[in-house]
Amino acid sequence: MGLILAPLKKGKVDDWKNWAKSLSGEQNEAFNAFNKKHGLTRHDAWLAETPDGPIVVALHEGPGADNFLQSVASTDEAFENSFKEKVLEFHDMDISAPPPGPAPVKMISSD
């Protein structure tokens, strides 16, 4: 499972909401094919308000979850390129580059 917390750039909340709606609407078929191609069985996102501003919490599940962003970054196809552009536009994250800072460390498990 992959979990990403991505702050939204100032002034981008409404644009992000519209894009998110499109992934469940007119782009749903392409979004589902994209997820399947990259080994995801679940790809959900929540908008959360924090004292420091809005963030997107994205959950990726399935056999491709651990390498999802690397898989998308290494693909040069229309939907993937659009996805990468939106992530950069909304979160100022270039997924083709390594993420800044250390990876999250799992501290508690109910296993």
The four Cα atoms 70, 85, 55, 1 give a dihedral, to 10 degrees, of: -20
Residue 71 within a domain: yes
Residue 21 lies in a domain: yes
pTM of the model: 0.86
Phi-psi region of 77 (alpha: psi -120 to 50; beta: other; left: phi over 0): beta
For residue 81, pLDDT over 80 is answered with yes
- Please determine, for residue 39, whether its predicted confidence score (pLDDT) is greater than 80: yes
Proportion of the chain above pLDDT 90, given as a percent = 77
The answer as to whether 108 is a domain residue is no
Range of the domain at 58: 2-91
Q: Where are the beta strands (DSSP E) in the chain?
A: 2-7, 42-50, 53-61
Structural contact between residues 68 and 3, judged by C-beta atoms closer than 8 angstroms: no
Q: How many domains does the chain have?
A: 1
Q: What is the radius of gyration, based on Cα positions, of the chain?
A: 14
Residue whose tokens read 């898989």: 71
Mean pLDDT of the chain: 92
In this structure, is residue 104 part of a structural domain? no
